[in-house]
Structure 1
Amino acid sequence: MEIRKYNSDDIKQFTDLMPDLGYPSSLDEMKVRMERIESNPNYYTFVAINNNNLVGMIGITIHTTYTNNDEKIQITLLVTKKEYRGQGIAKALIKYVEEWSLKRGSDFIYLLSGKSERRVKAHELYKFLGYEVTGYRFVKRLGKMNTI
């Protein structure tokens, strides 16, 4: 298995992977999304390739905070193709990002995850890899305003 930076040739296989994450998306939606993400220098996307097949993906965002000058890395996406789960792909992607972060001088990685039953195995993996639960996430959906 090879882990490398995402490129636009991966878009079709990435789109096919989105239902396994729980967010089915059209190819056109993903093209728009990835163009925005790839144009932002604080976003990085890495893919796991096995026999020319995209079998996993991890997305990260680099953050600077108000509390100190240290760079923080947030894992914003992690998905493995359903038929490849349990083979260590997610673990390899996380380890890849951890090493990549250390090479940048960043030693703080975090992620947010939902509380749904479908995330239980993911939570077990994060804990197994040394991640700990440190807080809560509060969400409020705001109604969209009509614009002229």
Structure 2
Amino acid sequence: MVLIRESRQSDNHALAQLMGELGYPTSAESMRKRMKAIELNPMNGTFIAEMDNLIVGMIGLRLNNNYEYDDSVVQVVSLVTRADYRGMGIGGALILHAEEWAQARGANAMTLTSGIKPERAAAHEFYKSKGYDINGYRFSKKL
């Protein structure tokens, strides 16, 4: 059974490992700094998935207000499940928890971005299976 809970500072080592699996290698110390800043913003939520007392996944969320319309939206900023635990319903449990968190905060939509690399194809199919549609492009620029 998967347990979803809020993250704690003691999770930073496991979060750093999960970021590495997502393709963003980092240290526990860097993760500690990031999480300290993230936790200061009440519009953010970070949730951990545990199985058998082991951290096996995480989801990071941000509640956003819009210029274009009145409703709020929650963005999935990060979502990752340990590779050896994929296909066990952990990602689905995290998404469901995120959607409930969003609704509790008055949001009526969820968004996320995902790279277009071939290794992201399985993630794209996962998102589609959860009812998410592809509806645009994301542009970015390093400053």
Shorter chain as denominator, the TM-score bin is over 0.9
Deviation at 1:74, TM superposition (A): 0.2
Tell me which residue corresponds to 1:145: none
Deviation at 1:54, TM superposition (A): 0.5
Q: Distance in 2 between matches of 1:103 and 1:31?
A: 27
Deviation at 1:12, TM superposition (A): 1.5
TM-score, normalised with respect to structure 2: 0.95
Q: Tell me, which stretches of 5 or more residues in structure 2 are unaligned?
A: none
Paired positions, count? 142
Q: What is the correspondence of 1:96-135 to structure 2 with a 5 Å cutoff?
A: 96-135=97-136
Say what the alpha-carbon RMSD is for the aligned residues. 1.0
Q: Tell me, which stretches of 5 or more residues in structure 1 are unaligned?
A: 143-148
In 1, are the aligned partners of 2:63 and 2:102 still within 8 Å (CA)? no
Identity rate of aligned residues, in percent? 44
Q: Aligned to 1:134, what secondary structure does the other structure show?
A: coil
Tell me which residue corresponds to 2:30: 29
Tell me which residue corresponds to 1:87: 88
2:37 maps to 1:15: no
Q: Which moved more, 1:17-26 or 1:97-106?
A: 97-106
Please tell me the residue identity of whatever aligns with 1:8: Q
What CA deviation, in whole Å up to 9, does each residue of 1:84-126 have, x standing for no partner? Answer: 0111111110011112212222111000111011111000011
Q: What is the correspondence of 1:43-58 to structure 2 with a 5 Å cutoff?
A: 43-58=44-59
> Runs (4+) of structure 1 moved beyond 4 Å?
none
Q: Distance in 2 between matches of 1:59 and 1:13?
A: 14
Q: Distance in 2 between matches of 1:76 and 1:16?
A: 17
Q: Aligned to 2:49, what secondary structure does the other structure show?
A: strand
Please tell me the residue identity of whatever aligns with 2:83: K
2:11 maps to 1:3: no
TM-score, normalised with respect to structure 1: 0.92
